[in-house]
């Protein structure tokens, strides 16, 4: 007889569908899901205890037990959005239309707009305004089933604002339902003060910003925008080597606009993930697969920039571990829409429903260093669970562009009803 603590029982789910394991799934293995018809799940104190068929449920005490009858619904793990820039000030709607009429993304940045526009607005924000706006964005993400999100600094580019962005994420992690993984991305653009002196800015990051970030324990990852005209491969290597020496895990914005060697560098350094990859070379992708670097593909950004999509199908077919994320930010991709991400992944990237689910759960968790704790529905994992409105997870792709998340459970508690 099981008892004590707060218990959650979900029963009669039309299906429970999940990846399994504690590391990213690679290649065709991304299709291997567990699919339990008329499924049940038992969680205790926020941790999954048992998953199986409703008919085989173990006997349980009714004390402190919340029961959900999920008849007609499917059940999957919470989504992990492993790449966003959700802490920012101001918006850039005019740039969206400039780009649509042909001005390239990097040209806007070179003219002092783009990321630098958001930097100005973010630097002029106070802590409370930054916290409140970011918190509201997390509320919206939760409604689409995001139970864990990675967020980057990189709209401060000065000592105080970079640290403030990370502290806001730390506070949100403590008080908001959505778990937040903070990434330091001081190397997001060269600030105007360092114009023409990129190496000096790199020195400032390595000698002043990184040590402060690590000393205050306010970031888990370090990321760099490795791109032509932004940070070179050598500058990226220098920053990420310093970050690794200080104990931070590494990510790279790699080969987004130009084929630049970012994927190769991610493999060389053993980064946790390399992201974007629109122009990644065959060798870069193969190196990443060989070194277990998660390939994080961000199709909403490619869609909004009218760029060609990253070769997600090719990455999986060549043994890579693929994650999908939104890249939510006020510039290249002002969208955190999980339904849109799934629609693009299904229709444009030609990923299977199983690959999409794995990419948004287990592999997303691996991309934020949490595959041992979240991303699947198995005993011992955190009970972060979505109940979908339809009887099969296939509706995630089939009901194109629609949010079919009905209820969200975080750490065993119903948080969206």
Known binding residues for 4-imidazolone-5-propanoate: 92, 155, 188, 256, 332
CA nearest to 348, candidates 322, 309, 317, 314: 309
Q: Cβ-closest residue to ligand NIG?
A: 331
Based on the shown chain and the rule CB under 5 A, indicate whether residue 327 belongs to the binding site for Fe ion: yes
Site membership for ligand NIG, residue 329 (CB under 6 A) = yes
User: Cβ 275 to Fe ion, closest distance in Å?
Assistant: 6
| Number of neighbours of residue 200 by Cβ within 10 angstroms | 12
Within positions 220 to 249, which residues make up the interface with ligand NIG, using CB under 6 A?
225
Alpha helices in 178-281 (DSSP H): 198-204, 210-215, 233-245, 262-269
Phi, psi for residue 11 in degrees, rounded to 5: -135, 165
331 lies in the site for ligand NIG, by CB under 6 A: yes
Return the range that interacts with ligand NIG (CB under 6 A); candidates 25-33, 287-295, 331-339, 376-384: 331-339
Stretch that binds ligand NIG, among 63-71, 111-119, 135-143, 400-408 (CB under 6 A): 111-119
How many angstroms separate the CA atoms of 30 and 62, rounded? 37
Q: Interface with ligand NIG by CB under 6 A: which range of 163-171, 199-207, 237-245, 326-334? A: 326-334
Cα(134)–Cα(121) distance, integer angstroms: 14
256 binds Fe ion (CB under 5 A): no
Closest separation between CB of residue 118 and ligand NIG, Å? 5
Q: Under the criterion CB under 6 A, does residue 332 sit at the interface with ligand NIG?
A: yes
- Residue 327 lies near ligand NIG (rule: CB under 6 A): yes
Q: Are 254 and 266 in contact (CB under 8 A)?
A: yes
145 within 8 A of 415, measured Cβ to Cβ? no
Q: Rounded to an integer, what distance in angstroms lies between the CA atom of residue 86 and that of residue 313? A: 28
Using CA atoms, how far residue 87 sits from 148, 202, 223, in Å, is 15, 22, 15
CA 61 to chain centroid, in Å, comes to 37
Residue 330 interacts, among Fe ion, ligand NIG, none and using kind-specific CB cut-offs from 5 to 8 Å, with: ligand NIG
Q: Does 81 bind Fe ion (CB under 5 A)?
A: no
Q: Which two tokens stand for residue 415?
A: 């948080």
When the beta carbons of 24 and 252 are compared against ligand NIG, the nearer one is 252
Q: Please report, as ranges, the residues that interact with ligand NIG according to CB under 6 A.
A: 85, 114-115, 118, 225, 253, 256, 301, 327, 329-333
Interface with Fe ion by CB under 5 A: which residues? Answer: 327
């Amino acid at each position: 007889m099981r008892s004590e603590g707060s218990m959650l029982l979900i029963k009669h789910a039309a299906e429970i569908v999940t990846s399994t394991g504690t590391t990213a799934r690679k290649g065709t293995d991304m299709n291997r899901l567990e699919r339990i018809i008329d499924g049940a799940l038992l969680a205790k104190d926020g941790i999954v205890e048992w998953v199986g068929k409703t008919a085989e449920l173990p006997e349980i005490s009714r004390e402190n037990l919340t029961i959900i009858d999920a008849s007609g619904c499917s059940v999957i793990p919470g989504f992990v959005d492993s790449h966003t820039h959700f802490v920012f000030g101001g918006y850039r709607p005019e740039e969206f239309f400039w780009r649509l009429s042909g001005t390239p993304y990097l040209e806007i940045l070179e003219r002092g707009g783009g990321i630098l526009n958001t930097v100005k607005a973010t630097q002029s924000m106070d802590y409370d305004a930054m916290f409140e706006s970011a918190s509201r964005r997390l509320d919206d993400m939760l409604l689409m089933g995001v139970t864990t999100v990675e967020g980057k600094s990189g709209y401060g580019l000065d000592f105080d604002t970079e640290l403030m962005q990370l502290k806001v994420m730390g506070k949100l992690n403590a008080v908001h339902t959505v778990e937040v993984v903070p990434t330091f991305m001081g190397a997001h653009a060269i600030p105007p003060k360092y114009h023409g002196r990129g190496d000096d800015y790199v020195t400032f990051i390595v000698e002043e910003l990184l040590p402060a970030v690590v000393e205050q324990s306010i970031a888990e990852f370090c990321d760099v925008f490795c791109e032509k005209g932004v940070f070179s491969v050598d500058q990226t290597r220098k920053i990420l080597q310093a970050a690794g020496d200080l104990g931070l895990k590494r990510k790279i914005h790699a080969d987004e606009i130009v084929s630049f060697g970012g994927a190769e560098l991610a493999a060389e350094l053993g980064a946790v993930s390399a992201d974007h990859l629109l122009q990644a070379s065959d060798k870069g992708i193969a190196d990443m697969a060989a070194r277990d670097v998660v390939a994080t593909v961000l199709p909403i950004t490619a869609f909004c920039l009218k760029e060609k999509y990253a070769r997600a199908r090719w990455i999986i077919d060549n043994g890579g571990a693929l994650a999908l994320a939104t890249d939510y930010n006020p510039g290249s991709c002002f969208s955190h829409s999980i339904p849109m991400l799934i629609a693009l992944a299904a229709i444009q990237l030609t990923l299977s429903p199983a690959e999409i689910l794995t990419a948004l759960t287990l592999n997303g968790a691996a991309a934020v260093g949490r595959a041992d704790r979240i991303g699947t529905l198995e005993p011992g994992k955190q009970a972060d669970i979505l109940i979908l409105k339809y009887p099969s997870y296939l509706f995630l792709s089939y009901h194109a562009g629609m949010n079919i998340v009905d209820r969200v459970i975080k750490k065993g508690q119903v948080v969206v009803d």
